[in-house]
Structure 1
Amino acid sequence: MAKLDRFDHIHIYVKNRRAAEIWYQQVLGFTAVESLAFWAVGNGPLVLSHQELHLALFESQVEKRTTVAFGVDGDNFFLWQQKLAANEVAFTVSDHEVTWSIYFSDPDGNPFEITSLDYEAINVKMNQKVLS
């Protein structure tokens, strides 16, 4: 049975990423994750952390829905692909160069992500699939 370990992060859409970063730091105690700062270029997220909680701030002038992201280990990453396919849920898989993610929506269009930090283990299996 595929299982979810934790909430990994939540996508938050803001009009001004820098102003939002200050607010989240001052009000809620979140700080930028320096090791992921390279993502905060162009349309990429600014990742903030508070203990085990992570937020990914995306700048957008268009109102968007919040994406709920669950974290899993590498084995469950593949089990979730099987489970989604078995339930005829359309999904995409993305290589983020330090994480792998599965994206899908519920029947009402609410977006979800299942992400894994087991990058290398998943990368090996993904490359094996391509070669098969």
Structure 2
Amino acid sequence: MTESGRFRMGRLDHVHIRVPDRAAAMEWYAQHLGFEPVDDYDFWATDVDGGPLQISADGGETMLALFETSPGHPMIAQETGVAFSVDADAFVAFARSLPGDINGLSGDPLQAGDVVDFDLCWAFDLVDPWGNRYELNCYDYDRVRTEFIEPSGVSPSRYWPRSLFDDRRG
């Protein structure tokens, strides 16, 4: 409880993700997004029938819980998306590695030019091989602009006019 006596939700712990094969999914997430199994929770995947394989790219602070599909638990992709944030070094390295084996929302290989300008951050929208959607964000806006966007000649996508942000800031 907080000082006011009202309950406040804590940090995001994990997101449930359905995949047809946890081992294949673990391999894909490790190779392409840097996830690793979280050993403290391994018993859920090995000893609990239908239990999740907990994976993380930040040492277990934030996790994906990979649940394998079954007759009672069909494949339902995470279509609303899960957003992760990285620093400028990781974001620029990811952008420069494209295209690769990661697809954008269209199903085509993600390209550096698929970057989205959200005025306060840069983002890539991507999907895993099973249709689960993710967003990769970086809030070090100026550094990404000067180290990647401008030198690469990339024309980012925008979902709204820049003038809305500029007007808001005065």
Q: TM-score, normalised by structure 2?
A: 0.37
Question: Which structure has the larger Rg over C-alpha atoms?
Answer: 2
Higher relative contact order (CA 8 A, sep 6+): 1
Greater strand share, structure number: 1
Q: TM-score, normalised by structure 1?
A: 0.47
